[in-house]
Structure 1
Amino acid sequence: MGATFPQALIAGVTGTVALRALVALRNRVLGGPPPYAARHIAARLARSTLHVELSPAQARRWGDAMRAIYGPMLGVGWALARESAPAGPVPPGLLLGLGVLALELSSFPVLRATESPRGWSIEEHAWLVAQTAVFGLVTEAMFTSMTR
């Protein structure tokens, strides 16, 4: 059974909330936010597209707003794609996480939303993989629980 639009939004919000909890841990472990932190992306995009310098507090709020839109929209996109996702050894939630990872690694440099991923540490790369996996697994778990 396919998901409805409200279910897709709820699933994306749930994945986003789980991601938010992981982000706090990530920042503590790394000693600060990585280059792909929502606040850094917000500041870079505001600077490059709007020619506006954001204060750290503004960048944090803009980053939170971007995440509040991005996560639910990923949920909607996944609702459209999950019925045709290939069955195989990769669980659907990890498939979503891998898709988000691929989207972010390919779009961040093009949009100049982050510095080049080549400059990121191994730990920063590992945390991006972990956070996209958590988002995908939690989002898919919510879909599964709502569409049974």
Structure 2
Amino acid sequence: MKDPYAAAYVAGAVGTGALGLLVTVRNASLGHPPPYAARHIARQVLSRLFRRRMSRHEASRWAFALRAGYGPLLGMGWGLVRRRTSKWTLLHSGVLLGLGVLAFERAAFPVFKATALANTWSRAEHVWLFAQTAVFGVVTEATMRWLVKEETPAS
């Protein structure tokens, strides 16, 4: 793909898709969706925004829409800064992206009152948040590497 920003958008969407597959495993492992599940965030934030309590069905639909926008936008942001890490190994570069997403979410959740306070989460919920952001990062970076081939100068 010639346009690195289009590639970054697609890579973020693919990373989001991979995360969607992991959610089923995460929820089964925890026995419930964690406080940072997209539908919980959608319900919390959008219920305040719309000034009415959202139903679970509405929250699930909004969660899909939020993920569909959020992941590709994260991919585009990564596309702007990844030039410095594109020579790193896939794992190092991808985990760095995942850690960036983790830091952003950990800072944003309390600001937007999107989740219960992090000190009320179980250890497993914290571990799964790290795991899912790492998976997003590695899959997004792997997709970027597949879509954008670095041009080597002709000798």
Shorter-chain TM-score tier: over 0.9
Separation (CA, whole Å) in 1 of partners of 2:7 and 2:86: 21
Q: CA deviation at 1:76?
A: 0.3
Name the counterpart of 2:153. Answer: none
Whole-Å separation in 2 of the counterparts to 1:3 and 1:115 = 40
Aligned to 1:140: 141
Q: Distance in 1 between matches of 2:86 and 2:70?
A: 24
Kept after mapping to 2: 8 A contact 1:3/1:79: no
Per the alignment, residue 7 of structure 2 pairs with 7
Unpaired runs of 5+ residues, structure 2, are 150-155
- Distance in 1, matches of 2:86 and 2:138, equals 16
Report the Cα offset of residue 5 of structure 1.
2.1
1:77-109 CA-to-partner distances (Å, cap 9, x unmatched) read 000010134977871100000000000001101
Cα–Cα, structure 1 residues 24 and 77, in superposed 2: closer, same or farther, change >3 Å? Answer: same
Which residue pairs with 1:111 in the alignment?
112
- The aligned residue for residue 54 of structure 2 is 54
Structure 2 match to 1:129? 130
Which residue is equivalent to 1:41? Answer: 41
Task: Tell me if 1:95 matches 2:66.
Answer: no
C-alpha RMSD of the superposition: 1.7
In 2, the alpha carbon distance for the partners of 1:4 and 1:62 equals 29
Aligned identity (percent) is: 48
1:29, distance to aligned residue in structure 2 (A) = 1.0
Give me the whole-angstrom Cα distance separating, in 1, the residues matched to 2:28 and 2:6.
34
Select the structure of larger CA radius of gyration: 2
Residue 42 to residue 12, structure 1, CA distance change in 2 (3 Å): same
TM-score by length of 1: 0.93
| Structure 1 spans left out of the alignment, 5+ residues | none
> 1:130–1:3: structure 2 CA closer, same or farther, 3 Å change rule?
farther
Counterpart Cα distance in 1 of 2:4 and 2:37: 30
Taking the aligned partners of 2:77 and 2:87, their CA distance within structure 1 comes to 18
Deviations for 1:104-138, whole angstroms, at most 9, x for unmatched residues?
A: 00110111011110100000000000000000000
Q: TM-score, normalised by structure 2?
A: 0.89
In the superposition, relative to structure 1, how do residues 8 and 84 fare at CA in structure 2: closer, same or farther (>3 Å)?
A: same
SS in 2 for 1:91: helix
